[in-house]
């Protein structure tokens, strides 16, 4: 048995300041998340400058808490992993500079992790990954289908051409006067309604694994607008259910088709929208019927966290993929393979 590997993960790509210590890439020792949702609520969305201000206030506190909870000193760590991108640039560079300073102070290897690779590797904290693997990454900033032949090998086979799914949820929620973030509210409303307004399913060209949510969003807005002009009462529950049905049907359908075409031995979902009950149930049922193993991490590992960054960072560390002091936050960082 080789020596255990302990990696400190740091994540500040959007509105959560997070730090975590993970053992061997699979076991969470500590996982701290300081959420800023309350600060951004009154603005109806994340304000980048305010997010950056919070990160600099929280960063050392959050890292210290993760270290203390784990009962570890810096010299017991093997590496520092940090989200290098994509994300909000001003937010990213707080985590990156803290990680660089920490790694420099204690002469530890530094690993720069892609945020989406992190979301995928969140699964490994609950269940070992089986390849070939298909990952559905679905959140406020991303909607992607990623095929993996093995560790660190990423092929994006489909992605959104306009809004991310979570973005569409937030926009529709706003027109229904639901508070920010809107996703959970729409999910909740949808479940209280037996009837649903029929909105279009946006499948794009035949065979495409890409997504588009802006057309769906527009038809919801049009529906609301027309109802208002005719002086009709809108039933928010039916609108929420109709919108959610359309998203869930398309996402489940495309994920299923990709899993079959790529002969995936395991399908995983990740990202904040993977916490959506309607989507979880639909994916669960569909893959159970096909007999393909399917896994969604528990809620705290679906939303942004640093354990997932440490988990992915551990595999990169084992492959010797180190960064250096010139690492910078990369807001538009592409997901590239490590092999």
Partner 1 sequence: MIYLGIDTSNSPLALALIEDGVVLIEETANLKINHSLTAMPAIEEMMKKAKVLPADLTHIAVAEGPGSYTGVRIGLTIAKTLAWSLKIPLHSVSSLKVLAANGQGFDGLVCPIMDARRGTAFIGLYEGTGLKSVLADQHSDVKEFLLKAKELGRPVLFTGIDAALHEALIVEVLGRAAHFSSIQNRLPRASNLILLAQQSEESDVHHAVPEYRRITEAEANYNKAQEGQIL
- In this chain, which of 49, 128, 195, 205 binds partner 1, going by CB under 8 A? 49
Residue 81 in contact with partner 1, rule: CB under 8 A: no
Q: Which is nearer to partner 1, 87 or 90 (CB)?
A: 90
The yes or no reply on residue 324 touching partner 1 (CB under 8 A) is: yes
Stretch binding partner 1 (CB under 8 A), from 213-221, 265-273, 299-307, 325-333: 325-333
Binding status of residue 131 toward partner 1 by CB under 8 A: no
Is 186:244 a contact under the CB 8 Å cutoff? yes
Decide: is 107 part of the binding site for partner 1 (CB under 8 A): yes
Structure tokens at 197: 């307004």
Which SS3 state, helix, strand or coil, does residue 34 take? strand
Judge whether 189 and 235 are in contact, CB under 8 Å: no
Rounded to an integer, what distance in angstroms lies between the CA atom of residue 281 and that of residue 185? 17
Q: Which two tokens stand for residue 299?
A: 């809620």
Closest approach, Cβ 326 to partner 1, in A, equals 5
Among 23, 53, 161, 174, indicate the residue that binds partner 1 (CB under 8 A).
53
Contact between 101 and partner 1 by CB under 8 A: the answer reads yes
323: its two tokens:
């960064």
**Residue 144 near residue 160 (C-beta atoms within 8 A):** yes
Q: Does 57 bind partner 1 (CB under 8 A)?
A: yes
Minimal distance, residue 186 CB to partner 1, in Å: 25
Cβ burial 141-162 (10 Å sphere, 16+ → b, else e): bbbbbbbbeebbebebbbbbeb
For partner 1, give the closer residue by CB, 1 or 105.
105
Backbone angles phi, psi at 332, to 5 degrees: -110, 25
Binding residues for partner 1, rule: CB under 8 A, are 42-43, 47, 49-50, 52-53, 55-57, 59-61, 63-64, 74, 90, 93-94, 96-98, 100-102, 104-107, 324-326, 328-329
């Amino acid at each position: 048995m080789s020596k255990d590997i302990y990696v400190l993960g740091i994540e500040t790509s959007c509105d959560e300041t997070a730090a975590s210590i993970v053992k061997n890439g699979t076991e969470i020792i500590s996982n701290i998340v300081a959420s800023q949702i309350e600060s951004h609520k009154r603005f109806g969305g994340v304000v980048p400058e305010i997010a950056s201000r919070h990160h600099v206030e929280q960063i050392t506190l959050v890292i210290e808490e993760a270290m203390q909870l784990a009962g570890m000193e810096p010299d017991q760590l093997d590496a520092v992993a940090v989200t290098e991108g994509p994300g909000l640039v001003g937010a990213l560079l707080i985590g990156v500079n803290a990680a660089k300073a920490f790694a420099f102070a204690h002469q530890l290897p530094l690993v720069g992790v892609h945020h989406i690779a992190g979301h995928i590797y969140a699964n490994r904290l609950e269940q070992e990954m089986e390849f070939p693997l298909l990952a559905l990454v679905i959140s406020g900033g991303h909607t992607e289908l990623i095929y993996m032949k093995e560790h660190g090998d990423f092929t994006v086979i489909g992605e959104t051409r306009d809004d991310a799914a979570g973005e569409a949820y937030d926009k529709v929620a706003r027109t229904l006067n639901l508070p920010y973030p809107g996703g959970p509210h729409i999910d909740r409303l949808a479940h209280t309604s037996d009837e649903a307004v029929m909105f279009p399913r946006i499948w794009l060209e035949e065979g495409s694994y890409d997504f588009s949510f802006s057309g769906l969003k527009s038809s919801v807005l049009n529906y609301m607008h027309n109802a208002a002009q005719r002086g009709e009462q809108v039933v928010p529950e039916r609108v929420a259910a109709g919108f959610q049905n359309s998203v869930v049907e398309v996402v489940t359908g495309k994920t299923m088709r990709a899993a079959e075409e790529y002969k995936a031995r395991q399908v995983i979902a990740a990202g904040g929208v993977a916490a959506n009950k309607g989507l979880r149930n639909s994916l669960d049922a569909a893959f159970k019927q096909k007999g393909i193993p399917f896994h969604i991490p528990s809620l705290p590992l679906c939303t942004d966290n640093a354990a997932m960054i440490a988990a992915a960072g551990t595999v990169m560390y084992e492959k010797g993929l180190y960064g250096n002091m010139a690492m910078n936050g990369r807001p538009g960082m592409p997901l590239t393979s490590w092999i």
